[in-house]
Structure 1
Amino acid sequence: MTKLIRDPMLQFFIAAIIILSGHHFLTGLTQSDREKIYVSTDQVERLIALYTIEAGTQPTPEGLAAMITNHVREQALVKEARRLGLDQSDTVIERRLAQKMTFILEDSAAPAQPDDAELEAWFTAHPDKFRTADTVSFNHVFFAGSDPETINNIQRALGTDDTDAWRQTGDPFMLQRSYIKIPVREVARLFGTDFAGEIASLSTSPVWTGPVKSAFGQHLVRITGREASSLPPFEQVKSVVRNDFIDVKRREANATAINDVVARYQVEIEGLPE
């Protein structure tokens, strides 16, 4: 990469293109009026590195010259835009600057790593964060538009049959016909809240129940298992507790850092409704 940069012919070629490409922006200005656009070796190496990552090979001398020309043009346009005040009161630019400042504050406000005593205290203080979800296991037969009498007849025919005959019954279904230990909240996401609420109220039984309405249609349902929410031992979820602790402390530190920045300014808000 360095060899490419130091090629005398390439340096001459780049210099010529930069002079020509900058002519439009410099026309009419005296030498003392001209603001310098300096392209450092580090910047050139960065352009080469970015190209190499994207293309899988180093740029040709002509290609590098074109990249440097584009960089110079971009810098000239940025400087000219700033001279004209175009960066003022621009929502996109302001949000980008605020985002960059937020990243800086996040890096400076990184929380210290907690010890086991802190983690166990956190686990004890926030048990609901680490409880397992209520889960349900069930089979279902789907009906896209069958009349109630047909569904009732199929329900009687299935009875308590423990074979896989039910899998060939009903209409085709785009999702699974059987679920094992699926969280009830996931059932709500897949089938709708009404279906999930009905499922949550049913007991484990070999008997087919229904029809139960979902966002897709009607279902006969057989509940094959259920597990209530429980709190695992601390050691089992220690890594989850650590991640949660660090995440909360980081967000708190970030909020404090941002509030400290805001406190440096006198804020006046005009035109609020009374």
Structure 2
Amino acid sequence: MLKEPLFHFVVLGFLLFLAGRSYQTRTDIYRIEVTPAHVAQLSRSYALQFGTPPDPATLEQLIETDLHDEMLFRQGRALKLDQDDEIVRRRVVQKEQFLMQNLHAPAEPTDAQLQAYYAAHADHYAAPSRAAFSHIFFAVGPDGDAAAQARAKAVLAKIPAGVTRAPERGDAFPDLYDFSAFEPEQVERLFGHTDFSGAVFTAPAGRWSGPYRSAYGWHLLYVANRDAPTRPPLADVRDRVRSDDLQDAQDGANTAAFDQIAKRFTIVRADRKAAP
């Protein structure tokens, strides 16, 4: 019988049947195996959230809830509800990005690397310029923008020498007239990204100048003093430099990891028509 081809065919078919059933059992979307490792993971997640491991009753409830969610998830996959779903797609992308960061975490930078990084990005850590200034405000009324500008010019021509503040010569302003140690970002937050905001850090100090336009109207400006940007020593900003260096290294590693993934794909741009 061992020499009969039919016997060989039956045995081979039976082995293939067993292998197929085994594979189907292991890959059946409707077969859920609750493993000790998975139960331990549920217990750890609970302990991380609540600070203590779950008691037996709570753990059993966690398993039941997990099975409930897993059955819904698999049924959804069977119905292909995960396809063409932007929320699912975005979540998978986020998990893959997180996985890449775990696999390519940068090494702790050395002192020499931090010094080199700081030298290459020193302007990023410099304390910005600060200015102390006063202004006279001219609102734009029914007679138009040009009229308010003309009033400002007329007042500028009559301000006596030595006067450093004169809000009464203009119109009421909804905020302060005098500012001390204001940084560019603070000035722009109040007056907008305007000619007046720029003039605070470029106009000559010690005398009135203008008029300059802001988001409110026109201003005459008196800059009392202005501090130049200062660059702190590395020791004062070491934590920031270290964090930025690690982030740049992580970004570079993520880019390299993605490039490796991208090499596996063939991109066909059917949306791009050939030039005539």
Which interval holds the TM-score relative to the shorter structure?
0.5 to 0.7
Deviation at residue 67 of structure 1 after TM alignment: 8.7
Which residue in the other structure is 1:129 paired with? 124
Contact 2:131 2:183 (8 Å CA) reproduced = yes
User: 2-side partners of 1:268 and 1:48: how far apart?
Assistant: 45
Which residue in the other structure is 2:101 paired with? 106
Identity of aligned residues (%): 25
Taking structure 1 as reference, are residues 35 and 177 closer, same or farther at Cα in structure 2, changes over 3 Å only?
Answer: farther
Deviation at residue 239 of structure 1 after TM alignment: 3.1
Taking structure 1 as reference, are residues 154 and 68 closer, same or farther at Cα in structure 2, changes over 3 Å only?
Answer: farther
- 5+ residue gaps in structure 1? 1-31
Which residue in the other structure is 1:141 paired with? 136
Contact 2:194 2:213 (8 Å CA) reproduced = no
User: 1-side partners of 2:44 and 2:239: how far apart?
Assistant: 41
Which residue in the other structure is 1:20 paired with? none
Deviation at residue 247 of structure 1 after TM alignment: 1.7
Taking structure 1 as reference, are residues 43 and 111 closer, same or farther at Cα in structure 2, changes over 3 Å only?
Answer: closer
Q: Is the counterpart of residue 193 in structure 1 residue 194 in structure 2?
A: yes
Contact 1:158 1:208 (8 Å CA) reproduced = no
User: 1-side partners of 2:47 and 2:120: how far apart?
Assistant: 52
Taking structure 1 as reference, are residues 76 and 37 closer, same or farther at Cα in structure 2, changes over 3 Å only?
Answer: farther
Which residue in the other structure is 2:20 paired with? none
Alignment of 1:1-274 (within 5 A): 35-36=31-32, 40=39, 43=42, 73-145=68-140, 148=148, 151=152, 156=158, 160-162=162-164, 166=167, 170-174=171-175, 176-191=176-191, 192-205=193-206, 207-263=207-263, 265-271=264-270, 272-274=272-274
Taking structure 1 as reference, are residues 47 and 248 closer, same or farther at Cα in structure 2, changes over 3 Å only?
Answer: closer
Which residue in the other structure is 1:11 paired with? none
Secondary structure of 1:122's aligned partner: helix
Deviation at residue 83 of structure 1 after TM alignment: 0.7
User: 1-side partners of 2:116 and 2:29: how far apart?
Assistant: 65
Taking structure 1 as reference, are residues 69 and 116 closer, same or farther at Cα in structure 2, changes over 3 Å only?
Answer: closer
Q: What are the superposed Cα offsets for residues 206-233 of structure 1, whole Å, 9 maximum, x if unpaired? A: x333332101112222101112334433
Q: What are the superposed Cα offsets for residues 119-146 of structure 1, whole Å, 9 maximum, x if unpaired? A: 2222233333333333332122333336
Secondary structure of 1:180's aligned partner: strand
Q: What is the letter of the counterpart of residue 266 of structure 1? A: F
Q: What are the superposed Cα offsets for residues 31-85 of structure 1, whole Å, 9 maximum, x if unpaired? A: x9964485958648857986x79xxxx9xx9x99999877655433222110111
Taking structure 1 as reference, are residues 33 and 125 closer, same or farther at Cα in structure 2, changes over 3 Å only?
Answer: closer
Could you tell me the TM-score, scaled by structure 1's length? 0.65
Taking structure 1 as reference, are residues 113 and 69 closer, same or farther at Cα in structure 2, changes over 3 Å only?
Answer: closer
Taking structure 1 as reference, are residues 33 and 253 closer, same or farther at Cα in structure 2, changes over 3 Å only?
Answer: closer
User: 2-side partners of 1:198 and 1:117: how far apart?
Assistant: 40
Taking structure 1 as reference, are residues 77 and 150 closer, same or farther at Cα in structure 2, changes over 3 Å only?
Answer: same
Secondary structure of 2:201's aligned partner: helix
User: 2-side partners of 1:73 and 1:217: how far apart?
Assistant: 64
Secondary structure of 1:200's aligned partner: coil
Contact 1:140 1:178 (8 Å CA) reproduced = yes
Taking structure 1 as reference, are residues 129 and 150 closer, same or farther at Cα in structure 2, changes over 3 Å only?
Answer: closer
Higher Rg: 2
Q: What is the letter of the counterpart of residue 93 of structure 1? A: V
Secondary structure of 2:91's aligned partner: helix
Contact 2:138 2:151 (8 Å CA) reproduced = no
Secondary structure of 2:200's aligned partner: helix
User: 2-side partners of 1:221 and 1:48: how far apart?
Assistant: 61
Deviation at residue 106 of structure 1 after TM alignment: 1.0
Could you tell me the TM-score, scaled by structure 2's length? 0.65
Deviation at residue 113 of structure 1 after TM alignment: 1.4
